């Protein structure tokens, strides 16, 4: 299994500098690559490794290539984004190395007679598919997956072992969901009804669903709750890490990425192309604009309406103390300016 640089260019674009017939049989980091492997330079601080790398060819930007002292006898593939290009080539090698899963239904699977299963689908051991579910072409359901009634899976969906998709949820083309994830469990909706010393939390029926767009990846043990009335929506191209909680009626904009252990409370909307770091907490009923980055472990308690990078956390204290401290922090710049004025008045020659 090998590709020449010219063949890679015909598939993914780019410009070859050197030998277009150079054959690539694998991929590796710059400091580990051998004479038949392709490597890449994504971070300029590793530029010196390009000079000493044993790689057959290196993916590189034109700006970085201009800094290479010697190109004699070496091959380069000049592209705009070496890291993304490397990922696409890696996908190509992986697809060829792994033969397609054979279609068919394992004899231990439990399929309701009213479910619609495409002939090209692969249904693994102990899978359950309830009434009215639709399983599209080339869908792969690994062992012990559960598909609830009237759920719909578009072509080329892959659900890893023990994924649960509740009733009425829909998954778009090429969605991948890893083990233990739960799609469409009830949102955390309870109405308080307390009078005096008595009362209770009254369950609010969660009658919406979850709609997931195409090309979404969802990590292991992540949970996405169904909507209370309208649906929870994950738009196309979203990438969600392991152990993320997305509350009911949230909307996650296209191509947003969310790192592990983040929690997003109900009815919050994230814009497109956002980057949410690990262990971020985002409150409910908020809106984050497009192209917002939130640093890991930050707490978002109000809407963010302007694109940019946001961060901030603080040890837990009583709310009344926090509110007073927050008010002081908002005015620190003004206090600093006044302090400078006072210093100038007391010591004008300083």
| Candidate list 126, 158, 167, 248, residue with the active-site label | 248
- Token pair for residue 100? 């397609």
Q: Cα(293)–Cα(56) distance, rounded to whole angstroms? A: 37
8 Å CB contact between 201 and 192: yes
106 among known catalytic residues:
no
- CA 303 vs. chain centroid, Å, equals 21
- Token pair for residue 163? 């994924």
- Token pair for residue 293? 């980055």
8 Å CB contact between 210 and 164: no
Residue 267 φ/ψ region, left for φ over 0, alpha for ψ in the -120 to 50 degree band, beta for the rest: left
Phi, psi at residue 283, to the nearest 5°?
A: -70, 175
8 Å CB contact between 154 and 135: no
- Token pair for residue 125? 């051991």
Beta bridge mates, 275: 257, 293
Q: Cα(139)–Cα(133) distance, rounded to whole angstroms? A: 13
**Which stretch of DSSP H or E encloses residue 95?**
helix 82-97
The two beta strands, 23-24 and 3-4, are: antiparallel
Catalytic residue positions, numbered: 248
């Amino acid at each position: 299994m090998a590709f020449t640089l010219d063949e890679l260019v015909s598939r993914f674009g780019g410009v070859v500098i050197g030998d277009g017939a150079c054959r690539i049989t694998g991929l590796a980091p710059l400091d580990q690559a051998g004479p038949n492997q392709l490597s890449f330079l994504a971070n300029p601080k590793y530029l010196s490794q390009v000079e000493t790398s044993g790689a057959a060819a290196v993916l590189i930007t034109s700006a970085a290539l201009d800094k290479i002292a010697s190109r004699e006898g070496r091959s380069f593939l000049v592209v705009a984004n070496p890291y993304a290009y490397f990922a696409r080539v890696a996908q190509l090698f992986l697809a060829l190395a792994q033969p397609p899963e054979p279609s068919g239904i394992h004899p231990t699977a439990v399929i309701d007679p009213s479910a619609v299963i495409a002939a090209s689908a692969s249904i693994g051991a102990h899978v359950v598919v309830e009434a009215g579910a639709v399983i599209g072409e080339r869908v792969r359901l690994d062992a012990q997956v559960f598909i609830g009634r009237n759920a719909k899976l578009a072509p080329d969906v892959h659900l890893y072992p023990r994924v649960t998709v509740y009733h009425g949820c829909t998954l778009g083309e090429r969605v991948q969901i890893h083990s233990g994830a739960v799609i469409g469990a009830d949102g955390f909706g309870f109405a308080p009804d307390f009078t005096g010393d008595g009362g209770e939390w009254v369950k609010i029926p969660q009658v919406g669903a979850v709609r997931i767009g195409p090309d979404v990846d969802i990590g292991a043990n992540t949970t996405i709750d169904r909507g209370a009335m309208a649906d929870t929506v994950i738009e196309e191209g979203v990438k969600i890490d392991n152990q993320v909680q997305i509350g009911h009626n949230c909307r996650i904009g296209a191509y947003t990425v969310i790192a592990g252990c983040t929690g997003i409370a109900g009815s919050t909307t994230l814009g497109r192309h956002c980057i949410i770091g690990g262990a971020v907490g985002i409150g409910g009923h908020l809106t984050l604009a497009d192209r917002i980055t939130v640093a890991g472990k930050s707490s978002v308690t109000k809407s963010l309406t302007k694109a940019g990078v946001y961060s901030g956390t603080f040890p837990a204290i009583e709310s009344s103390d926090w509110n007073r401290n927050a008010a002081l922090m908002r005015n620190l710049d003004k206090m600093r300016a006044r302090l400078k004025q006072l210093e100038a008045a007391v010591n004008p020659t300083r």
